[in-house]
Amino acid sequence: MSKINAPQLGRRTLLRGTGGAMALPLLEAMLPKSTAAGGENIASALPKRIGLFYFGTGMNMRQLEPKDEGRDYTLSPTLKVLAEHKGDFTFISGTYLEHGGGHQGDYTFSTGVKAKDGSSINNSVSMDQIAAEQLGRATRFPSLQLCVQRGTGFGGNLRTLSWNRDGVPLASENDPHVLFNRLFQVDGPEETELRKKGFRQRRSILDLVMEDAKRMERTVGKRDRVKLDEYFSSVREVEKQLERDIDWNVKPKPEVDTRGMSDFSESFTVNMPAGQFVYEKYARMMYDLIALAYETDSSRVISYVVRQESSGGTFPEFGVSKGFHELTHHGNDPKNLAELAKVDRIYLSHWDYFIRRLKSFEQPDGSSLLDHTLLGFSSGMGIGHSKDRLPTCLFGGKAAGVAHQGHLRLPEKTPLSRVWHTMLDRAGVDPGEPFQDSSGVIEQLIKVG
């Protein structure tokens, strides 16, 4: 039987056995029939993913930024760590955060607005949450937030890049064990029943809240009714999320093959007693989980604060004399600059592992998972705590129509939001107009025809 005439399977088709069910991986038979005739059509039908990554307190741009430009550029000393992937990414010079620099860049990084002004914080929706609203409709988790520390860090060094439509930060998770269980652990009957009970309680509370609010609406003035309408909209969003949670609760989680990866059965965080935590192991666990989340279509939108702004950033096994923030105040001392570059290369060696992992997952069209994933990384500052000369790279996305340029030098003070705009565009996300302070997508990165 030809592929064109083969029966079509639903994306959530299950294999049912005695007492259980297992979700299938994405197969060609699950794609629309119109895509079966050619690989190019299949590629366009496969889901696109977005990843946003933050390397706090910048990098040593003297060792990172290439000296020449174009597709045949010479890899810089630090980028040589990624030599194997030269054709899979673009280093972008000239990016700028108008409200970044100093140690404020983490608040504006993904939103583009002046979110932190003294003690006042007033942010906007982040690019990843715009993506989650559209790409996340078909996945168990519309988005995932990760960081080396749990929570939001709100008011201090942020632990999240994600902000909802109300400018509220979304908390990050930092424990690979917790993340793995959330993504893939199958609940037993007791846990399932407990979750159902929780859903019923949340529904009852929402019903009571709406009933009281509607009763109050009849007794207040016009301006207060406007505020109550906004409140009703927020409650309806909570109701939609509740319905989504209830729907996904009855669908089995995917089973994954973790051979060659770390053991996720126990907690492993930076807060472990001294001597027990090894950052390289942690980095690989987190990157493995991101790759698995993408491959199983558990989430298509992920943000990760790889290194927080100002705090931490180095670990004993790195073999350097100071914390990362201290090293960035290098004073042109050769030792400080050399150690700063050393730390950058360690982090990029972990990134190399991540890219290799994404490349290892073959897609139905014969391409790799990386080709269907757009990964952007940068920082809230350049060398010297500046707002410009940011360490910005775009990886992957070839199947989404990204035309990598090697080293692309943009005009000075090009808003970083143009990189995010390009990623959203290639992933099929409409960010609305205007989008942050972007003047449009970066045309050089878009494949013609």
pLDDT tens digits for range 231-274: 666 666 666 666 776 666 767 889 999 999 989 999 999 999 98
Closest CA to 319 of 300, 333, 338: 338
Residues forming a β-bridge with 388: 96
Which residue type is seen at 28? E
As a whole number, mean pLDDT of residues 307-312 equals: 91
pLDDT for 10 equals 53
Ranges 119-128, 342-351, 377-386, most confident? 342-351
pLDDT > 70? residue 227: no
- Range in 240-244, 307-311, 340-344, 375-379 the model is least confident about: 240-244
Q: What percentage of the chain exceeds 70 in pLDDT?
A: 80
Longest pairwise C-alpha distance within the chain: 71
CB 247 within 8 A of CB 235: no
Sorting pLDDT into bands at 50, 70 and 90, what band is 185?
confident
pLDDT > 70? residue 193: no
The CA distances from residue 283 to 211, 279, 442, in Å, are 48, 6, 31
- Range in 31-45, 54-68, 310-324, 383-397 the model is least confident about: 31-45
Which residue type is seen at 329? H
The CA distances from residue 7 to 27, 39, 287, in Å, are 12, 18, 36
pLDDT > 60? residue 118: yes
CB 32 within 8 A of CB 356: no
Query: What is the full DSSP assignment across 259-297?
Result: TTS---SS---TTSPTTT--HHHHHHHHHHHHHHHHHTT
**Of residues 18 and 241, more confidently modeled:** 241
Rounded to 10°, the helix 176-184/279-295 angle is 20
Buried-exposed string 14-31: b where 16+ CB fall within 10 A, e elsewhere: eeeeeeeeebeeeebbbb
CB 91 within 8 A of CB 405: no
pLDDT for 384 equals 85
CB 161 within 8 A of CB 52: yes
CATH of 46-183+256-445, picked from 3.40.50.620, 3.40.720.10, 3.40.50.1820, 2.60.40.3880, is 3.40.720.10
Average pLDDT, the chain: 87
pLDDT for 163 equals 95
pLDDT > 50? residue 19: no
pLDDT for 269 equals 97
pLDDT > 50? residue 17: no
pLDDT for 15 equals 44
As a whole number, mean pLDDT of residues 46-60 equals: 97
pLDDT for 32 equals 57
Task: Supply the pTM of this predicted model.
Answer: 0.84
pLDDT for 312 equals 86
pLDDT for 6 equals 35
Domain ranges of the chain: 1-45, 46-183+256-445, 187-251
pLDDT for 3 equals 33
pLDDT for 199 equals 63
- Range in 36-50, 131-145, 417-431 the model is least confident about: 36-50
Closest CA to 135 of 433, 431, 429, 432: 429
Sorting pLDDT into bands at 50, 70 and 90, what band is 116?
confident
Cα–Cα distance, 270 to 294 (Å, whole number): 24
Sorting pLDDT into bands at 50, 70 and 90, what band is 192?
low
Cα–Cα distance, 427 to 284 (Å, whole number): 26
pLDDT for 216 equals 75
